[in-house]
């Protein structure tokens, strides 16, 4: 799991994943990324002790170097899961997260309420209710991975 320890949401996400992983038989190896030099160091460590797959958090350096991260995963034949859609559009394998169109609609609703005089503190906090799964079949083919038909059938979008 690639994460930036300077981003609080990455730390929370890492803890959540580490807590959930044993129930599905997974072991999580956290890989910290601190700046561009930290990315090279992390890639070197991952080459010495390759993981079976990589999950990449979002934010900061992880977004800034999305293309390098997706290229590394591709060259290393690592199945990769991302928490931002742009990484899959850049060559990553899988995105699973909040459906953005619905999220943007909700943001517009909040902006409308605030512009009409509502105090932001008076508005409720919402969690996403719609999620999307995007699979990049081009990447799957390049790394020699076959995505099962039942998984493809559940995908909201397939990049061919």
Domain count for the chain: 1
For residue 138, CA distances in Å to 39, 76, 89, 146, 160 come to 25, 15, 11, 11, 6
**Domain CATH number, residue 67:** 3.40.50.2300
**Which residues 6+ apart lie within 8 Å of 92 measured at CB?**
56, 69, 70, 73, 80, 81, 82, 136, 139
CA quadruple 31, 47, 50, 154: dihedral sign? positive
**Range 66-76 average pLDDT:** 95
Domain that residue 18 falls in: 2-101+130-159
The residue ranges of DSSP E strands in 50-92, in sequence order, are 54-56, 80-82
Q: Is residue 8 part of a domain?
A: yes
C-alpha span between 82 and 87 (Å, rounded): 7
Q: Is residue 56 part of a domain?
A: yes
Q: Is residue 113 part of a domain?
A: no
Q: Is residue 90 part of a domain?
A: yes
Confidence of residue 37 (pLDDT cuts 50, 70, 90): confident
Q: Is residue 33 part of a domain?
A: yes
Instruction: Convert the pLDDT of each residue in 114-153 to its tens digit.
Output: 999 999 999 999 999 999 999 999 999 999 999 999 999 9
Q: Which of 50-54, 72-76, 83-87, 91-95 has the lowest mean pLDDT?
A: 83-87
Q: Is residue 9 part of a domain?
A: yes
Confidence of residue 28 (pLDDT cuts 50, 70, 90): very high
Q: Is residue 58 part of a domain?
A: yes
């Amino acid at each position: 799991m690639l994460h930036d320890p300077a981003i609080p949401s990455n730390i929370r996400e890492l803890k959540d994943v580490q807590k959930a992983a044993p129930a599905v038989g997974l072991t999580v190896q956290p890989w910290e990324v601190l700046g561009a030099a930290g990315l090279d160091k992390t890639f070197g460590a991952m080459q010495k002790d390759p993981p079976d797959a990589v999950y990449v958090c979002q934010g900061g350096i992880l977004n800034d170097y999305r293309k390098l991260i997706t290229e590394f995963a591709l060259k290393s034949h690592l199945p990769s899961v991302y928490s931002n859609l742009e990484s899959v559009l850049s060559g990553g394998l899988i995105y699973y997260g909040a459906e953005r169109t619905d999220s943007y609609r909700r943001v517009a609703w909040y902006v409308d309420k605030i512009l009409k005089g509502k105090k932001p503190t008076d508005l409720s906090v919402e969690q996403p209710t719609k999620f999307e799964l995007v699979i990049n079949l081009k990447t799957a083919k390049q790394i020699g991975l076959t995505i099962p038909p039942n998984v493809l059938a559940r995908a909201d979008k397939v990049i061919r």
